[in-house]
A and B are shown apart, each in its own frame.
Chain A
Amino acid sequence: MVFRELSLPVRLLFYLFLVVAAISILYPLTWMSFTSLKTNEEVMLSPFGLPTRISFENIAEAWQTGNFTRLYTNSILIAVVSVIGIIAISTTAAYGLARYHFTANRPLFLYFLVGMAVPTQALMVPSFKLMAILDSWASALHLPIPLLNSPLAVILTYMSWSSLAIIFIRAYFMSIPPELEDAARVDGARELQILRHVMVPLAMPAIATMTIFYFVFFWNDFLWPLIYLHKHTLRTIPLGIMHFEGKYVSLWSLQVAALSLAAWPPIVIYVLFHRRIQRGLTEGALKF
């Protein structure tokens, strides 16, 4: 189908669809941003107008009362550690499964495949209990690894979701011609060097796609921090926003400012890297 060759009414109808969908997305986000840049009086007087002058009053107050410094630190810590961890262990496992012949290879691959079918939300009760048990064992052995009310519990749970990354990166490794490795091997490179200096750079598109995918997922996840983190000092951004809403019900201009503080960074990152992210998504979907 070539767009230019369609009849005019059809083309106009299609443009209408596209524009309506785009407005439905842009309007709420613009309203949120404008509202958080207005003064309180202006929010009350003209809730839907453009801000007459930009004021950071509400943003600053939301940052303070919501303790966004802490929320950001917690979110970044959990997301970054989990993503580095899961990408590292998944890449090595994917390589092992893609390139080495041994009896257990296929059973191991099928074993990792199970994780694709399991909805992790269904595991919340046993996971929570498991952390409680491991925590009591750790304290009985005087090990300084707290797992109750600890970001470590969230990170460990995230790091068990490796199935997708393993299957995805494995498929990419398998599409790389083995001659490249053989050449490096002939040149005297050791197995680990081949992985680090030949295979990982070659598989970068797949690894980058998975990194973006998991980062967005961990960054936005709400359920697992909600399950594990009950102290207000440990809250991640989604948890903090949720509590902020409950606490300042009447001050809705402040609430919207808090929403902006949570929504802007991912939007900015997306705007900056949208080509890379989109390419990763489409290339990634193909490999799958």
Chain B
Amino acid sequence: MRRSTLTGGSEKGPRTGRYDVRFALVLIAPAFFFYTIFLILPLFGTVVIGFTDWTGISFSTLRFTGLENFIQMAGDEFFWGAFRNSFLFVVCCLLVQVGVALLFAIILESGPRFARWFRSIFFVPFVISLVVIGILFNFLLDPTIGIVDILLRAIGLDGPKFGWLGTTTLNVFVVIAVHIWRNFGFTMFLLIAGLQAIPRELQESARLDGATAWQLTTRITVPLLREVLVVASVITSIDAMRVFDLVYTLTGGGPFHSSETVVTYIYQLGLGGARTQHGYATAIALVLVLVIIGMSVLQFTLARAGRGALDT
């Protein structure tokens, strides 16, 4: 089984040795420069500004306030609402997006008719801008002209009075559904790649031994797919945790902040609204960074622990 290069490859280090170190440094320097100035420096900025009450006018107004921002966060119901929604995003996407992608990947790799066509179609939404998708779904979900409500009325049902996106309870799930609709094709491709890497002989011999399709899938295919599944889950949850475009275009975080996610809340506080609470917004961003790193580490650790349990 191929090991992830992220962990496996780096342990080995460079395979061949060249000794012209200066040339190597020249090769690395440009990427190092852009990466350091425009990613690492803002990352440090996030850590520093997160502990201030900066409003962003000039540096002279910058005042360190210690943990004040984080105390404010604890009592900020919008912050908790935004985090709750983002977590809802992560949980739903892990269950539904990865689940659907896995199901379709396995079905398509088993060789039904038109497999290529389905595979190609499922990936189409991924190449379209999220803004276009958001506005398009605004039309499809419109209470008067949208096809969804018209079909529902045709069978005697009624959609929500102010539209699917106008409710304060269902709207988050609608945004999540659109997010999954757009992304499952990408997840499916990752899993298909993993499936294709599994040696055919393993499945063949189990099949000849009389294993059913269900046994083959749950006992052989899925366990062998674990590494790719973990990578797909980490990518899916990071994507879900930092969703912005779709929320911005579908609901704008409303009504009454009910569909606000962490990133839309940061944008609104830091750059979008009339007041610019740079310090507070950045403190939330810092929490987001830590949560995403923690989430990824947790998933990799769980996967490793699970592998240990399987091996023994």
Give me the interface of A with B, judged by CB distance under 8 Å: 1-6, 10-11, 14-15, 17-18, 21-22, 24-29, 31-32, 47-48, 88-90, 92-93, 95-102, 105-106, 108-110, 112-115, 117-130, 156-157, 159-163, 166-167, 170-171, 174, 178, 181, 191-192, 195, 216, 219-220, 222-223, 227, 237-239, 241-242, 245, 252, 255-256, 259, 262-263, 266-267, 269-270, 274, 277-278, 281-288
Contacts and interface: CB of A to CB of B under 8 A. Distances in A.
Which 4 interchain pairs have the tightest Cβ spacing? A126-B45, A96-B27, A160-B38, A100-B24
23 contacts: A3-B107, A14-B107, A18-B112, A92-B31, A93-B27, A102-B21, A112-B31, A117-B293, A121-B285, A122-B286, A123-B45, A126-B41, A126-B49, A129-B278, A130-B41, A160-B35, A181-B16, A195-B27, A216-B127, A238-B131, A278-B123, A285-B190, A286-B193
Dominant secondary structure of chain B at its interface with chain A: helix
Contacts of B138: 245
A25 B122 contact: yes
A2 B110 contact: yes
B37 A129 contact: no
B175 interface: no
Given A1-B106, A22-B121, A281-B189, A125 B271 contact: yes
Contact of B110 (A3, A167, A222, A259): A3
Given A18-B107, A121-B263, A237 B46 contact: no
B4 A288 contact: yes
B266 interface: yes
B6 A96 contact: no
B84 interface: no
A168 to B, nearest CB: 8
B17 interface: yes
Given A93-B32, A96-B25, A242-B131, A282 B189 contact: yes
A22 B115 CA distance: 11
Contacts of B31: 89-90, 92-93, 112, 162, 166
A120 B39 contact: yes
B292 interface: yes
Interface in B284-312: 285-286, 288-289, 292-293, 296
B300 to A, nearest CB: 11
B135 A159 contact: no
Given A3-B111, A285-B228, A267 B127 contact: yes
Nearest to B263: A121
Contacts of B242: 119, 121-122
Given A114-B40, A222-B244, A263 B285 contact: no
Interface in B198-230: 203, 207, 213, 216-217, 221, 228
A92 B128 CA distance: 30
B75 to A, nearest CB: 22
Contact of B125 (A10, A14, A25, A130): A25
B124 A255 contact: no
B42 A130 contact: yes
A115 B39 contact: yes
Interface in B86-135: 100, 103-104, 106-108, 110-112, 114, 117-132, 135
Contacts of A122: 46, 242, 263, 266, 285-286, 288-289, 292
B174 interface: no
A98 B6 CA distance: 13
A125 B20 contact: no
B162 interface: no
